[in-house]
Structure 1
Amino acid sequence: MRDLLVEKAQLERLILSTLMMNLIFKTLQSRSQLAEEESRDWKHLSEKLREHEKSREHLANLRSMVELQVRLRKNETIEKELHEQIKNETQRWRGVLTRIIAVVKCLAKNILSFRGKNENLEDNSKDNFLGLIEMIGEFDPIMQEHLRLIKGKEIHHHYLSHKIQNELITNMSLKVKNVIEKIKKAKYYSVILDCTPDASHKEQMTLILRCVDVSRILVKIEEYFIEFLNVENTSGLSLFNELCAALDSLGLEINNIRGQGYDNCSNMRGRHQGVQKRLLDINPRAFYMPCGSHSLNLVICDMANSCVKEKSFFGACQCMYTVFSNSTKCWSILLDCLDNLTLKSLCTTRWESHIESVKAIMSQVGKIREALLKVADLTDDARLSRDARLLATHELSSFEFLLSLVIWYDILYNINSVSKSLQSETMHIDVAVKQLKELVSFFENYREVGFASAINSAKEIASNIGVDLVFPERRQTSRKRQFDEIANTEREPQTAEERFRTYYFLVVVDIALLELRTRGLMLIVIHLLTLRWNQSLLMLPLFLAVLAAYLYCYGISGDDHNYEA
């Protein structure tokens, strides 16, 4: 079928040239001497040409040639039906292939599987690809006719097999990989890697390249997703080898890397055997930059695991969601009591997303407590009834838990805002440094005045739902004084509010400040590197001190690498 798909213009030129040669120079009944015999009499050649032009055979052939040209223009030749058939067949296959490519693009963009258990059009449990093809055939006459020919076994090549799908995907990937030419033209680039398991429990590593697009009039920084890399071993050496093999297959020089960005996992950022260390051993100019959003995520993770009360707080939030999501009956009870926000499950990887769960509980404490009591009375599950009643009478009836809701909402709201800004495509390094400094300033100010403002907000919530505004008192333990101890030297006992502020609030805020100052150091170093030296000579001692601290933290010493100015 592919051999028949020829262009009409080429066929017409071939027929025209053949007929012209036959009619003019190979006429069987020609009586012209010039047409039959060769002539070497160049002196009288003009006379022979004039004689030939007036001959009956020449005029007849000329008339036939003109008539053929007219018939070709009007498409009235003997090959007219063949031309129409080829033209219609070409248009039909172009329409079929256009729709097949559209289906492939749709599935690829939405990250949907192509194939299922079988590839039979007449089977009801067909895969996504054939299902979309059949759906298009219900409304599109071209695809409807194509499916009719397939089911009637009138054609053998239908272009719906898995081999054609893979071929189209490969050709599309080659088209996408044309950005490699832009990267080669820019010469210098940065690499971004991240690993995650897919649905088939196979580890895949995404390869993203970032460069300056100099092919446009307006120079712009672009970021391109290249491909997924199948990874069997997630060690630093294995990931580094996969990166080198991928760059070599793309024809990119590893010495042209000027930046590398990964998450904060030990196999990526490890200062001895991580990917960034192995790349720096080969290319000292490949400056390592940890992911800013992942760093903030680790800050929240450290804060949430700093003491037992914080772990119990998020455990209670997750337990509330678990109670209501246990059955459709429990969830309907929750929906009947709530007006706006529903409970959200806590994400185990994105800690800043916990704000959605905390916000839903804090804004509807009374209604959630009412729903928990209804579940405890109506459910037949003894364990579920016990959990619901304990949450309603213990956590949601405790002023200490309400205060924790307010504190964590204030913290998560500010961190989540900065985290989303850092993930913006238009984010600049100076803006990122400014936002991190503002976040540190927020925690410094929140350490001084945040506890008092949080208590006021918690008191307002507690008064609306009828919760006592008191902290649970602990029994004061007494210790026997030894004979050599001086009287009246024991520490003055703290109140319940002071203990909560000292062992809960200050612990959370101080860990946040420590982690932000440590993890945000990298952005400050890069910001100082981008300053003009004639504007930053006075900051040179500070810059060297910060740079030395960063190199010490990441295990990079001046003896290991020779950095050029």
Structure 2
Amino acid sequence: TSGLNNWKHAHEILMNHENSKQHLDAIAALCARKSSSQIDSDLVKQYEGEVQYWQELLRRLVSVVKFLCVRGLAFRGKNELIGSSNNGNYLGILELLSEYDTFLAEHIISKHANKGRGHASYLSSTICEELIELMGQKVLCVIIDEIKTAKYFSISVDSTPDIMHVDQLTVVIRYVKFIPIYSHTGSEIARIILHFLEENGINIQNCRGQSYDNASNMSSKYKGVQAIIRERCSVAYYIPCTAHSLNLIGKCAAECCPNAALSDTRWSARYDAVQELQSDENQPRDSRLVAEGFLKKLQQLEVAILVEVWDTVLERFQKTSLTLQRSKLPSVVKVYKETSKREKTRKRQFDEGCSKETIFSPRERFRCEVYLPIMDALSLAVQHRLHSYMHIQNKFGFLSNICELSKDDIMEDCFPSEMIHFSEFYKTVSGQEKKKSRNSSTEIEMLLNENMCSHIFPNVHIALRIYLCMAPSNCCGERSFSKLKRIKNEARNSMGQERLNFLSLMSIENDVVDSLSFTDLIHDFALRKARK
């Protein structure tokens, strides 16, 4: 062609070309080629088939990974050979499934069994680790989104050494994460907590509660973790762990008991041990003599009475020893008969009066010297520990019986008009439901959401959310240590920190893992790994 040089009439020329026979024939040929096949249609079809193949395989792999993570089981064994009895739980479960799944059997046995490095089979430990990381990241993102949606949260922190003697700091908000620490000072732990929250995009200003044990580095008023956190967020109220405080109350009462130092464990266990030791003639003479002394001490009436007293006290603490509950005390408790004895007198000094000396009976002496000090110590310890929770009670105590408050009970600083309105609303709804009244704070908060009235009573709703998010104890942190010991045990002591966090997260938050669908993860993973 010679080109176009008549640009003044270009529009007319283009219109004539679009209506020409040559142009229309070319457009028809192009449409026919698109509807039939393209040059690379076979390559696209091959690529899509490969993606579909790997997606089917990944669905099975993700299910096995989920199964092992939720139960905290080990993945790898001594080798990665198909057919070996030492190839670990991951490959072992896939082999078991292949007996009933023809697709998996063909993939493992016929095509990709023991091909070595450089062969893409998706059965290697590398792919397994990638799946663990991707699944853990997804669970983590879902939970962080829940925290941000809820807005208000509380934190609980505790630490314990793992099997490799690395101190693991567990941070509990809605989930658990273990962070290695190398210092137990309040400032260092607070720095780690603040960095963790900032790293995950969680605003510390929305923190409304802290729950730690009563250690000085956590609970100190000036340099403790709770004080440093409150400097950043003044409304992050500190609540000492109630379970730990209860243990300290019992410890305080036990320290005032003269016979409490008899054993650091259970008295019945010490009694069985010393009786066995004293009767065993193969034991050294010194050991048998010491055991005999303990045995005589345990056979005193005072010890038997103390056992009964502590049984009642510890039952109130819900910490009664199972051995003590099952134990029988006929060998300890003896029939006590008070016989008449000559009263012992001491030499009077010249400046003493002539009044008779007070002589306590054994019963009165035991009551004054043992029983009453225990009860006094318990009472004082309870009052002392209770003082730590009064500031929470003063601020949020009305929420525990919010529906039973009268107009006179509602304080002026507790949005009185809204409280009166809500009280009438609650009575009306309860009468319409004709069910058992909802008295707990959780049920009342659910009532607001069910009736979509949170915007009508915004202050009540916010107060309930803050009150319900507070952690009364750090028992969740203690429970996470059980998972830590199970996941990072002697056989898995070389586990990395990131892998430990993902495995423990999916094991602890197994309900979140079960509720999630990893279809999008499988699709993205297959697209990345498929070879074009």
Tell me which residue corresponds to 1:469. 335
* Cα distance between partner residues in 1 of 2:286 and 2:268: 14
Q: Rg: which structure is higher?
A: 1
Contact 1:323-1:384 at 8 Å conserved across structures: no
* Cα distance between partner residues in 2 of 1:401 and 1:190: 45
Q: Which has the higher contact order (CA 8 A, sep 6+)?
A: 2
Query: Does 2:430 correspond to 1:528?
Result: no
Tell me which residue corresponds to 2:143. 179
Q: Name the stretch that deviates more: 297-306 or 470-479.
A: 470-479
Tell me which residue corresponds to 2:121. 158
Tell me which residue corresponds to 1:108. 69
SS in 2 for 1:244: helix
Query: Does 2:225 correspond to 1:275?
Result: yes
**Residue 206 (structure 2) aligned to one of 256, 269, 278:** 256
Q: What is the 5 A alignment of 1:47-66?
A: none
Tell me which residue corresponds to 2:55. 94
* Cα distance between partner residues in 2 of 1:509 and 1:115: 56
User: Which letter does structure 2 place at the counterpart of 1:487?
Assistant: C
Contact 1:247-1:253 at 8 Å conserved across structures: yes
Query: Does 2:303 correspond to 1:401?
Result: yes
**Residue 167 (structure 1) aligned to one of 130, 140, 143:** 130
Q: Name the stretch that deviates more: 104-113 or 403-412.
A: 104-113
SS in 2 for 1:260: strand
* Cα distance between partner residues in 2 of 1:466 and 1:184: 60
Give a deviation string over 1:241-275, Cα, whole Å, max 9, x none.
10111111012222332221111111100122110
**CA separation of 1:138 and 1:483: change in aligned 2, threshold 3 A:** farther
Contact 2:298-2:332 at 8 Å conserved across structures: no
Query: Does 2:382 correspond to 1:516?
Result: yes
**CA separation of 1:256 and 1:393: change in aligned 2, threshold 3 A:** closer
* Cα distance between partner residues in 1 of 2:182 and 2:343: 57
**CA separation of 1:129 and 1:193: change in aligned 2, threshold 3 A:** same
* Cα distance between partner residues in 1 of 2:411 and 2:32: 91
1:535 shift after superposition = 2.7
**Residue 284 (structure 1) aligned to one of 234, 246, 249:** 234
- What is the TM-score normalised by the length of structure 1? 0.56
Contact 1:118-1:126 at 8 Å conserved across structures: yes
**Residue 192 (structure 1) aligned to one of 151, 156, 177:** 156
* Cα distance between partner residues in 1 of 2:16 and 2:86: 86
Give a deviation string over 1:302-360, Cα, whole Å, max 9, x none.
22232331232554537449849xxxxxxxxxxxxxxxxxxxxxxxxxxxxxxxxxxxx
**Residue 231 (structure 1) aligned to one of 158, 181, 189:** 181
SS in 2 for 1:308: coil
Give a deviation string over 1:135-179, Cα, whole Å, max 9, x none.
555665554444432314497133344443443233223222223
Query: Does 2:349 correspond to 1:482?
Result: yes
SS in 1 for 2:318: helix
Contact 1:320-1:391 at 8 Å conserved across structures: no
Q: What is the 5 A alignment of 1:129-528?
A: 129-134=90-95, 136-137=97-98, 140-148=101-109, 149-153=112-116, 156-177=119-140, 178-209=142-173, 224-312=174-262, 315=265, 317=267, 319-320=269-270, 323=273, 380-381=282-283, 386=288, 390=292, 394=296, 397-416=299-318, 467-470=333-336, 479-490=346-357, 492-528=358-394
1:112 shift after superposition = 4.1
* Cα distance between partner residues in 2 of 1:317 and 1:235: 36
* Cα distance between partner residues in 1 of 2:271 and 2:125: 43
Gaps of 5+ in 1: 1-38, 210-223, 325-371, 419-456, 541-565
User: Which letter does structure 1 place at the counterpart of 2:305?
Assistant: L
**CA separation of 1:377 and 1:115: change in aligned 2, threshold 3 A:** same
Gaps of 5+ in 2: 1-11, 399-406, 415-532
SS in 1 for 2:317: helix
Tell me which residue corresponds to 1:9. none
Tell me which residue corresponds to 2:432. none
Tell me which residue corresponds to 1:10. none
1:529 shift after superposition = 0.9
1:184 shift after superposition = 2.8
1:234 shift after superposition = 1.1
**CA separation of 1:505 and 1:184: change in aligned 2, threshold 3 A:** same
Tell me which residue corresponds to 1:5. none
Q: How many residues align?
A: 387
User: Which letter does structure 1 place at the counterpart of 2:122?
Assistant: Y
* Cα distance between partner residues in 2 of 1:258 and 1:405: 43
- Superposition RMSD in Å: 4.9
* Cα distance between partner residues in 1 of 2:371 and 2:91: 58
* Cα distance between partner residues in 1 of 2:335 and 2:257: 23
* Cα distance between partner residues in 2 of 1:91 and 1:534: 69
Give a deviation string over 1:179-233, Cα, whole Å, max 9, x none.
3233334433322111122222111111122xxxxxxxxxxxxxx1142111111
Tell me which residue corresponds to 1:7. none
Contact 1:240-1:278 at 8 Å conserved across structures: yes
* Cα distance between partner residues in 1 of 2:29 and 2:152: 71
* Cα distance between partner residues in 1 of 2:61 and 2:29: 53
- What is the TM-score normalised by the length of structure 2? 0.59
1:125 shift after superposition = 4.8
Give a deviation string over 1:55-83, Cα, whole Å, max 9, x none.
9x9999999988x49xx9xxxx9989995
Identity %: 28
* Cα distance between partner residues in 2 of 1:88 and 1:475: 105
**CA separation of 1:45 and 1:530: change in aligned 2, threshold 3 A:** closer
1:488 shift after superposition = 2.6
* Cα distance between partner residues in 2 of 1:387 and 1:118: 56
Contact 1:104-1:169 at 8 Å conserved across structures: yes
User: Which letter does structure 2 place at the counterpart of 1:98?
Assistant: R
* Cα distance between partner residues in 2 of 1:81 and 1:277: 64
* Cα distance between partner residues in 2 of 1:111 and 1:508: 44
SS in 2 for 1:151: coil
